[in-house]
Amino acid sequence: MSDLKLSELGTKNKPLRCSSLGLLNCGLRFVINLMSESRHEEAVNTGTLFHVGVEEWVKTSSLAAANDAMNQAQERFREAGENVGDKTKAEKWVKLYIKDERNAPLGVWPENREIGRVCHVEQKVALTIPPAPFDSTESPIYVTGTLDQIRETEDNRLWVWDCKTSKMYNDRTPNDILHSYMMQVIAYAAGASQMLQETVRPGGIILARSYGARKEERKQVFYRISIPQSAIKLVLQSIAESVAHLRNGYISPTITTECAKCFVTTGPSECLVHLQNLGVE
């Protein structure tokens, strides 16, 4: 998003992406992420191959169809002049996903029903959040995205589950992982609830890379987000307040241990220089 005007953040013409909401805990990182070019293209496109493969298998229960879908995705990357991603790695994750007794094709109950059965896959959602009282624009916040899965448990409740392939969480605790993605999954759940006109709850994260790790490094795959429905409204209010600060022109750094692992720089002093070089109105 070049020529960014902060007052236009989250407007109907420039909606926010659900996948970027986790960056709101640091205003500097959030804005720089919006304005910077795509990073780590191979890793991102490898993740896309995994998503495409899982989506096709869930819809068709065919590994061959999943493989064809990944090949077609690589061809699209190639035509766009992008890195084609690591299909060998993505295909390995897809095969291990299929073998997991908690996963099954669309509408089919898996052998292990703990996480539920998939009833929606790769579903586009849109969410509107009321502005914070101090938001100078007084404009609603529009958020869009594509959620990975909605699963139904045996008590007929619906849950959003999001697949992640990033390796940046290899050395982090389950709490770190859930904290990083909580806003995103809650936004997906709220958007799905608006779309389906029924309650969809935040389920959690499916950490696909764990499928491909060596046995001694393997961690859990499903990370459940435990948050009461009553708290979701507070999280959406927090999103609105963070966006209001940015719309009002207040871009604040958050100095934490996350700085050392940030994709932008190693500290706020470097962030500010980077932000000035990009140019923000």
pLDDT digits (tens, 9 = 90+) for 161-207: 999 887 765 566 667 777 778 899 999 999 999 999 999 999 999 98
Tell whether 281 is covered by a domain: no
Tell whether 280 is covered by a domain: no
Establish how many alpha carbons lie within 13 A of residue 163's alpha carbon, considering only the half-sphere containing its beta carbon.
28
Q: Which domain holds residue 10?
A: 6-275
Cα–Cα distances in angstroms (integers) from residue 167 to residues 39, 95, 132, in the given order: 14, 19, 35
pLDDT digits (tens, 9 = 90+) for 124-168: 999 999 999 999 999 999 999 999 999 999 999 999 999 988 776
Tell whether 159 is covered by a domain: yes
Contact yes or no for 267/259 (Cβ under 8 A): yes
Give bridge partners of residue 143 from the DSSP assignment.
16, 127
CATH number at residue 80: 3.90.320
Count of Cβ atoms closer than 10 Å to residue 172 Cβ = 14
* Beta-strand pair 16-17/141-152: parallel
Q: How many domains does the chain have?
A: 1
Tell me which residue of 264, 269, 241, 270 sits closest to 32, measured CA to CA. 264
